[in-house]
Amino acid sequence: MAAEVFVTGHLNPDTDSICSALAFAAYQQAIGQPAKAVRAGSISPETQWILDRFKVEAPPLIRDLRTQIQDLKLDTPRPLTPYMPLRKAWEAMRQTKVKSIPVVDQHQKLIGIVSLGDLAEFDIAAETVHTIQMPAENLVEMLYAKVSGTLPKTFQANYFWYNEQDIIPAKSNVFVDKITQELVGQAVASRAACIVLCAGNDADLTNLPPKEIADMADKVGMPILVTAMRPYYAIRYAQQAVPIKVFMKSEKLMVFSATDFVDDVRESMLSTRFRSYPVVDSDNRVLGTISRFHLLQSGRKKVMLVDHNERSQAVRGIEQAEILAIIDHHRLGDVQTYAQVYFRCEPVGCTSTIIAGMFFERNLVPDPPIAGLMLSAILSDTQLFKSPTCTSKDVQMAEKLAVLADVNLKSHGHELFRASSNLYDKTPKEMFFLDFKEFFLGDYKIGVSQINCLDGAELADKTAAIPKLMDDLVEAQRFDLLLFMETDILKEGTQLYYSGRLRRELAQAFNLDPEDIKAVKSFFLPGVMSRKKQVIPALGNHLR
């Protein structure tokens, strides 16, 4: 199965970023490629209105593209239970070829871990086994024994090979190769736990019918176990009936979450020398185990970028992802790739215009909801075709998409912008970051935010707080210049708020006298509607 490919727009996504991600993912699926639209930030009111209008779910949020444990193919040995016999645990490790296995409770939640070294160390130090309580069923299981009499819940792991001259210790499990009345009497008198008859190929077993053993067990009130093993192997296996709960590690475990990043896991592994480590989900349920081998085999997440190609605008971890394609309509940025990449950048008003063209070039017809998303993105990014970035191709694609989406182009555009102007429930900070992008022009760090409105006067209470907010951001994040564009669709211009040390360069970019803007925090730029075509290029010409 092919690896999942994420399609994402930029941080603080606008309508084009979200709609293009959904549309390009749909395009990839239409040509038989696996793709999933995701988003790198919150949904704006305008975009949410569009998603609701066409009944499309918002893409899931992704904050980081670095490889996580959940992206790896983990070892998945069946977890052990705390009362499993030592030997069964060893057999599980041999079969799965792993050196350690998690131990879980009845809810599959991690309670410990057992390694091959733990098993060997405990088995070698078998002289301490007699002090341990174990489930009686463990002994029966290990000896493949048949039971006569009533079996208690637990036995003490105290094994005793009986000779006629010996005194049987209390609470011991007495191992014999034949049963006599004298033996049974001594076992009862010594309050032994049980008698284990190691029959092997001994003829005594054939001379002692099972019913006689059962009657004897019932008579004396002591269970008798009969095994076909010879004495040496019976005692050896009995020692390995001890539950792993006795020696499993349950404190100071190094455990990783499925959402942990491989970079962080690698650092933790370097500080320890365990062979493998448990991986759990958010409820502490075991998902598998991870070792250093998995880190060597870890691959990069696959991603396609739409509506941006600058690292500062990309989701965190983009430098560790494998970029397969970039579809954009902005200037060329600084995103780097490790291999060949499909790159399509056109000087049009909207990324969705390019994607719609890709559908039609292959004679593919986008579904009505996808057509509606692309149409809305074009209307939003071209500001109802009034932006200087708008081209005839944008208009042509919008008209075709309106037919496919079954909407009236003009009325849909006005409804969209009424929805986008509904910023009353947003704080000034939320409004500022609805559509915010960072740029690096030469050695300068620039930040530009933009909102569209139908009447700037209605937002006066919120925009009054913008200058102080921008001053604080300039100081905290060391911007050389920070801009806030309040673009009025009806007035066809932008009230430009600014902060930072590049006041003179800003004035020169728009042919203003620096002294004219020295005492104000904003000024109106008639005809300026586009960040990408009118603001960034103008600044770039004066910041080289």
- Mean pLDDT per 10-residue section of the chain, whose length is 544 residues: 81 94 97 95 90 96 90 88 93 88 94 89 68 89 90 88 83 87 88 88 52 83 89 88 90 91 87 85 92 78 94 90 94 84 95 98 97 96 89 97 96 84 79 89 91 79 90 94 90 92 90 81 90 89 78
Is 128 among the domain residues? no
Residue after which a domain boundary falls, among 367, 399, 420: 420
pLDDT at 359: 98
pLDDT at 1: 39
Q: Tell me, what CATH number does 312's domain have?
A: 3.90.1640.10
Q: Are residues 155 and 139 in the same domain?
A: yes
pLDDT at 203: 42
The distance in angstroms from the start CA to the end CA of the chain is 48
- Give the residue from 248, 298, 261 showing the smallest Cα distance to 102: 248
Structural domain boundaries, residue 529: 428-540
Q: Are residues 90 and 113 in the same domain?
A: yes
Q: Are residues 95 and 50 in the same domain?
A: no
Answer yes or no: are the C-beta atoms of 84 and 238 closer than 8 Å. Answer: no
Is 202 among the domain residues? yes
What are the E-state strand segments in 9-109?
A: 36-38, 100-104
Beta bridge partners of 495: 486, 524
Distance, in Å, from the CA atom of 84 to the CA atom of 101, rounded to the nearest integer, reads 12
Is 127 among the domain residues? no
Is 476 among the domain residues? yes
The total domain count for the chain is 4
pLDDT at 118: 85
Q: Tell me, what CATH number does 288's domain have?
A: 3.10.580.10
Distance, in Å, from the CA atom of 267 to the CA atom of 59, rounded to the nearest integer, reads 32
* Residue 186 burial (C-beta neighbours within 10 Å; 0-12, 13-18, 19+): middle
Q: Are residues 165 and 215 in the same domain?
A: yes
Is 342 among the domain residues? yes
Q: Tell me, what CATH number does 191's domain have?
A: 3.40.1390.20
Distance, in Å, from the CA atom of 317 to the CA atom of 455, rounded to the nearest integer, reads 39
Answer yes or no: are the C-beta atoms of 40 and 311 closer than 8 Å. Answer: no
Helices (H), 82-180: 86-96, 116-124, 136-143
Q: Are residues 191 and 143 in the same domain?
A: yes
Helices (H), 125-244: 136-143, 181-189, 204-207, 210-220, 231-239
HSE-CB of 441 using CA atoms within 13 angstroms: 24
Q: Are residues 393 and 326 in the same domain?
A: yes
Residue after which a domain boundary falls, among 385, 420, 455: 420
Is 522 among the domain residues? yes
pLDDT at 202: 53
- DSSP line for 265-282: HHHHHHT---S-EEEE-T
Distance, in Å, from the CA atom of 499 to the CA atom of 501, rounded to the nearest integer, reads 7
Q: Tell me, what CATH number does 513's domain have?
A: 3.10.310.20
Answer yes or no: are the C-beta atoms of 16 and 351 closer than 8 Å. Answer: yes
Q: Are residues 33 and 174 in the same domain?
A: no
Please report, for residues 89, 180, 247, 287, 423, the alpha-carbon distance to residue 78 in angstroms, rounded to integers and kept in the order given. Answer: 10, 44, 19, 10, 54
Q: Strand 322-328 to strand 342-345: parallel, antiparallel, or no bridges (unpaired)?
A: parallel
Residue after which a domain boundary falls, among 370, 396, 420: 420
Is 87 among the domain residues? yes
Distance, in Å, from the CA atom of 292 to the CA atom of 273, rounded to the nearest integer, reads 10
Is 215 among the domain residues? yes
Residues 6+ apart with CB under 8 A from 110: 102, 103, 104, 253, 255, 278, 280, 284, 285, 286
Q: Are residues 181 and 272 in the same domain?
A: no
Residue linked to tokens 């004219």: 516
